[in-house]
Amino acid sequence: MINSMTGYGRGEETSGGRVVLAEIRSVNHRYCEISLRLHGRCGFAEDAVRQLVKNSIGRGKIDVTISFTSTNDEDSLITLNSAIAKQYFANLRELQRTFDITGEITIDLLASLPDTLRQDRPQTGESAILLLILEATRKALDAFNAMRKAEGAKLQADIETRLDTLAEITDSIGKRAPEVQELHTTKLREKVASLLDTSISDPMIEQRLIMEIALFADKVSIEEELVRLSSHIDQFRNTIRNGAGGETVGKKLDFIVQEMNRETNTIGSKTNDLTITNLMIELKNCIENIREQVQNIA
């Protein structure tokens, strides 16, 4: 089975007044590109989250968002900077004396001044928070991969149908090719006879003609290309059904499509038969449709 490159997944984990929400979404991309947005309290977990996601996703442009809320006392740490508060107070008194200003220096005023009260990030509780983050991320990955799998099944069904059409067209070209070759041989005989203005009865001329016809037939033969094209179709079908053996499926399929196009172009350059030309147009159109679908496969 194949997976789509696009998908969305959401996972949530709660414990001890802490809530972690993980969201994963992706769009098509040639390689695996992971962008992380983590709540400030969760920044320490960036490497662990990135590795977890990377191990699960082959390619795509992946955006991961980790949100964090907490009512746990361990996650709230307000620090009073007494030294700065004293300096603020002393300097405000000095201003009063210097400029003869009246008024009270209140607690509200001091508390509002920069760095008097500071919210620090506690170092305690990180191991417990990391477990929540990773579990929420796993849940998001499960949902994300389930969606990609469902989309992949639809892609596979569509591609399988197009592969059947591709095989049928290839078979039709294979049946037409010998007829075209025989037609070319007959025309070549007639042309040589016309040029000689006589029937070909001289054994030497006949033997030479047979050699030339054989060389020409080998030059325009498309049998090898058709065999390779059929092999590519079978390999493509096997890959979407059984995987790529450790290799990224989408990349391997993209390579096979390139090889299909290569054989198709060679066949087109070797034949000038109208029937085969029309079949070639259908063949190239079908391969292009498959190529577009491959761009969505992870």
Number of domains, the chain:
3
Residues 99, 17 share a domain: no
Question: Is residue 34, in this structure, part of any structural domain at all?
Answer: yes
Q: Which residues pair with 34 in a beta bridge?
A: 62
Residues 246, 159 share a domain: yes
Contacts 24+ apart (CB under 8 A), 224-232: 225/263, 225/266, 225/267, 225/270, 226/170, 226/173, 226/174, 226/177, 226/263, 226/267, 228/259, 228/263, 229/170, 229/260, 229/263, 229/264, 229/267, 230/167, 230/170, 232/256, 232/259, 232/260, 232/263
Q: Which residues of the chain have pLDDT under 70?
A: 73, 75-77, 119-124, 192-193, 195-206, 208-210, 212-218
Residues 41, 20 share a domain: yes
Residues 224, 268 share a domain: yes
Residues 251, 172 share a domain: yes
Q: Which domain holds residue 58?
A: 7-74+124-148
CATH of the domain at 15: 3.30.230.70
Residues 92, 218 share a domain: no
Q: What is the pLDDT of residue 245?
A: 77
Residues 69, 137 share a domain: yes
pTM score over 0.75: no
Residue with tokens 């078979």: 171
Question: Is residue 1, in this structure, part of any structural domain at all?
Answer: no
Residues 104, 34 share a domain: no
Q: Which residues pair with 119 in a beta bridge?
A: 78
Residues 32, 98 share a domain: no
Sign of the dihedral through C-alpha 212, 213, 214, 217: positive
Question: Is residue 99, in this structure, part of any structural domain at all?
Answer: yes
